[in-house]
Amino acid sequence: MKIGIIGLPQSGKTTLFNAVSGQKEAVGDYSRAIHKAVIKVPDKRLYDLAELVNPDKITHAEIEFLDAAGFSGKGKEQKGDLEISPELRLMDALAMVIDSFSPTANPERDIQLLRDEMILADMAAIENNVDKIERSIKLTGRQERAMELDVLKRCQAILNAERLISELALNDEESKAVRGYAFLTQKPQIAVFNISEDKLPQSTAIESGYSKFVQEGVREIAVVCGKIEMELSQLPEEEREDFLKDLGIERPAMERFIRQSYHLLGLISFFTIGPPEARAWTIRKGFTAPKAAGAVHTDFERGFIRAEVASYEDYMVHKNLQSLKSAAKLHIEGKDYIVHDGDVILFRFNI
């Protein structure tokens, strides 16, 4: 699962990347180098559960972030000037960093600009192919690609109306027909407004002001101060709390941003806990118990018998299997069970 950090030059992409990853890449240098990092998804529930079993090891869910540098600088004045790096097309979701800190900041303009550029890039990807497929169908009379053509035309129409492909309700089959195009405007987005240090105390108010940029199922928003978050990420663990206290902040915005990104990808976590390891596992929303078991080990999926499931909340109340059982809070589930975010699961399997 990959999230591409994109945005105009000097909007704070590398700063945000450093903040989420704890890495120390150079900022402010107009560099277009691509940086990658695998990030642990912070989850308080995992620590709470670990406290009950005292495991040797705690393992977090993970996602990958890329400082993708996909947009060239010229775009600010001229449309269609964008260099789309091929890396960007491989992303599962995009985090668009928007300059809201500099004296010349104009978040509304920049978000529109990024949007226009992505629309133009997708239009270009479609154009040649519509003609090509149409001709081939006419020539051969073969209809295999008729669905692809139909979906492409619908994508083209929505882009012409200056809307995003993710606003089209495509079913699974239709999505599959155009998956190869890896459309930018089909990827879920998170707009990250990068505010200045002195605005931090107002970040909640600023976030409500930007709520007009939220689009259900298409775009989420986050308000962060990249610079402060980056400084925080480079402090030793034990100094972070004082740093936050001095600023009057309770929790780093990065934690929330990472969790938002995780949800944006349609991902949820379930937990397995025992003395050797307490672990958060990543699955897609809607996975059945055997598929979730497959995330742990392929043999678990093949030999799946049943899952013994308790919610995180019930675990916190009852503390152990015995009490969960007596309170009828340990549920025996079969192969059709849909796993929920926060389920604590013990798989029974036969191999």
Ligand X SMILES: Nc1nc2c(ncn2[C@@H]2O[C@H](COP(=O)(O)OP(=O)(O)O)[C@@H](O)[C@H]2O)c(=O)[nH]1
The residues of the shown chain that bind ligand X, judged by CB under 6 A, are 7, 9-15, 27-28, 101, 194, 196, 225-227
Under rule CB under 5 A, residue 194 binds Mg ion: no
Question: Measured from the CB of residue 200, what is the shortest distance to ligand X in angstroms?
Answer: 9
Total binding residues toward Mg ion, as defined by CB under 5 A? 2
Rounded CA-CA distance 213/293 in Å is 38
Q: Where does this chain touch Mg ion (CB under 5 A) — which range of 13-21, 113-121, 172-180, 229-237?
A: 13-21
* Cα dihedral 293→36→264→214 (10° resolution): 180
Rounded CA-CA distance 217/110 in Å is 21
Residue nearer to Mg ion on the CB measure, 13 or 279: 13
CA separation, residue 118 to residues 164, 252, 330 (Å): 9, 30, 48
Give which of ligand X, Mg ion, none residue 28 binds (C-beta under 5 to 8 Å, depending on kind): ligand X
The 8-class DSSP code of residue 337 comes to: P
Rounded CA-CA distance 285/339 in Å is 8
Q: Which residue is nearest to ligand X (CB)?
A: 28
Counting Cβ atoms within 10 Å, is residue 131 exposed (0-12), middle (13-18) or buried (19+)?
Answer: exposed
Which residues are 2's β-sheet partners?
64
The 8-class DSSP code of residue 340 comes to: P
Rounded CA-CA distance 62/267 in Å is 11
Question: Measured from the CB of residue 234, what is the shortest distance to Mg ion in angstroms?
Answer: 17
Residue nearer to ligand X on the CB measure, 27 or 295: 27
Rounded CA-CA distance 252/241 in Å is 10
Question: Measured from the CB of residue 306, what is the shortest distance to ligand X in angstroms?
Answer: 50
Q: Where does this chain touch Mg ion (CB under 5 A) — which range of 11-19, 79-87, 269-277, 320-328?
A: 11-19
* Token code pair at residue 148: 């692809």
Under rule CB under 5 A, residue 14 binds Mg ion: yes
Residue nearer to ligand X on the CB measure, 16 or 339: 16
Question: Measured from the CB of residue 7, what is the shortest distance to Mg ion in angstroms?
Answer: 9
**DSSP secondary structure string for all residues of 56-102:** SEEE--EEEEEE-----GGGGTSTT-----HHHHT-SEEEEEEEESS
Question: Measured from the CB of residue 27, what is the shortest distance to ligand X in angstroms?
Answer: 4
Residue nearer to Mg ion on the CB measure, 12 or 342: 12
Residue nearer to Mg ion on the CB measure, 25 or 277: 25
Give which of ligand X, Mg ion, none residue 106 binds (C-beta under 5 to 8 Å, depending on kind): none
Residue nearer to ligand X on the CB measure, 26 or 328: 26
Residues that bind Mg ion (CB under 5 A): 13-14
